[in-house]
A and B are shown apart, each in its own frame.
Chain A
């Protein structure tokens, strides 16, 4: 079947990134519920992440996994529920991946370096 190789590979990447996200989301949700106690402030977020290499690595991995996972999912939805061509949905997927990577790393690098701005 045409596209068999690519569809299968996308499926594999989707599941691999899902496995990584399973861990990341679990940690993230746990952290949010804990952090939200008594309200949330910028200082609190920055204190936690800025200069902390472990959180930085954690979020870097998180962003990489989401940048793989979300676009593949969106592509599937577009293929099934819109009249966009396979080429078009492939392009949308690539663009979305780029957007997540750029905006995500901008945010996480910003927060990592933000200690100095406090």
Chain B
């Protein structure tokens, strides 16, 4: 039977994206700080890591991270607008715009790095 049909609307998906992106970013942070901390051991160690990370698979993962960050930011802006500006309309357009901006940011990153 059609369970979950009541969840098939933009704001629910926006919530899922916000939660998933937030969780993944929170898990990524210690890794990010660890890598940057390699700079303390000298530039060569960090460069060694950066060389490894210039492979296409890692570049893809990085693009995904950028999209996640942008998505979390734009989703957060949607949420803050709802909570503080008290927008009444379901502002589904806002969800679409926010997602669009996030994807564009990821693309800008991916294109710039190649």
Contacts and interface: CB of A to CB of B under 8 A. Distances in A.
A15 interface: yes
Interface residues of B, number: 35
A42 B112 contact: no
B100 interface: no
Interface SS of chain A: helix
B43 to A, nearest CB: 4
Interface in B20-36: 22-23, 25-26, 29-30, 33-34, 36
Contacts of B66: 29, 32
Interface size, A (range) = 35 or more
A37 B42 CA distance: 23
Given A70-B29, A73-B22, A100-B29, A29 B70 contact: yes
Interface of B: 19, 22-23, 25-26, 29-30, 33-34, 36-37, 39-40, 42-47, 50, 54, 66, 69-70, 73, 76-77, 80, 83-84, 105, 108-109, 112-113
